[in-house]
Structure formats: structure tokens, C-alpha cells
Amino acid sequence: MNESQPPPKNIVLIGFMGSGKSTVGRELHQRLGYPLVDMDQVIEQRAGKSITAIFADVGEDGFRDLETHLLEELNDAAAPRRIISTGGGVIGREVNRAILRHLGYVVWLHAPTAVILDRTAKNRERPLLHTEDPASKIEALMSQRKPLYAETAHLKIDIAELDSDEIATGILESARYFFAGHL
């Protein structure tokens, strides 16, 4: 990270699988017109295969390396402002957490485990939940990750009672205050 340049001013969405990062990312992209970087999608496009296939071929560690490389690439003060939506496990590595905070305003979309279970049950594209007991896996990962999301985020939003339109409005208003203090 080059400390002599002003920091980038991206809006970065973090949070557990199924918390709505991609949907809210698209909403912010539409409203602000900033380019959208959906990290999972970029990783899939570059690899030419799905996240599930990447996990099968190079394991979770291999996937985490791709995530870290992409974050390093995004950490470019000369790049235009962007909306960056991340994968749920991106906060696992300390180096990633440092880059995420440097990238801009970090918003944690948080939902209770019951909501996550319901939302993730509809889609099989999440290799970490390909287990006999996804509810226990979600509980375990959530308790490991909660402190890491909290440590990384500038703002936490409890999304259970909100739609993506309301969430985006909250993020935009608070981002204005945040960036006004970081000129």
C-alpha cells in the first residue's frame, strides 16, 4: 500500500453468504453509476469455471489465493471509484482485512443464521455448504467470522427486515458522511 497517495474511495460490501452483497452491489452500481466489481464473478470469469469447480480443483486455499491477488489488484489509488462486493470468507486473512479497509468504506451486511440458512438453501453454488448439516456449518462459520467482519467494517447493517433499496439508501447516506471526513 502506498501511504503517500490519498486512499481509494470505493464502497466495499462484506458479509456472510446469502446476506445480499451482490444484489445490494448492483443496486448501488445502478444508483451511482460506479463500476461494479463482484469478486466471485471476476474470479470465476478469469478461471473460466465456477467457484465450486475452483474449490474442487485447487481447494479452498487456492481459491483464497485468487481472492487475495484480486484484492491486491483492486488496491490502486488511481482506479476510478467502484462498488466492490466480496465473497463471504474474504475477511479470513489478515492481509485481506487490511486491504479491504484501505479500499474505502466497508459495509457489513449482517443477517441472523436462520435468514442465511433460508437464503442459501435455494442455491447449490456454495461449496462450503455442501455438507450434511448446513445449519451447523453456518453457525460455526458465523461465530468464527463475526469478530472479523466487525473488525473490518466501518458500518454494520442488520438486513433481515430491509429490502435492497432501503439498504442501498442507508449505505449512500452514511458513505457521504464517511468520505466527507476522509478528503
- Cell numbers for 95, please give them: 492481509
CB under 6 A: which stretch of 5-13, 68-76, 86-94, 104-112 binds ligand S3P? 86-94
**Distant-in-sequence contacts of 129-132, Cβ < 8 A, 24+ apart:** 129/17, 130/52
Rule CB under 6 A: is residue 87 a binding residue for ligand S3P? Answer: yes
Closest to 32 (Cα-Cα) out of 159, 172, 181, 165:
172
Least distance to ligand S3P from the beta carbon of 159, Å?
A: 13
Least distance to ligand S3P from the beta carbon of 21, Å?
A: 6
CB under 6 A: which stretch of 1-9, 82-90, 150-158, 170-178 binds ligand S3P? 82-90
Closest to 21 (Cα-Cα) out of 132, 119, 136:
119
CB under 6 A: which stretch of 69-77, 98-106, 123-131, 175-183 binds ligand S3P? 123-131
Closest to 117 (Cα-Cα) out of 134, 142, 141:
134
Which 28-57 positions form the footprint of ligand S3P (CB under 6 A)?
40, 51
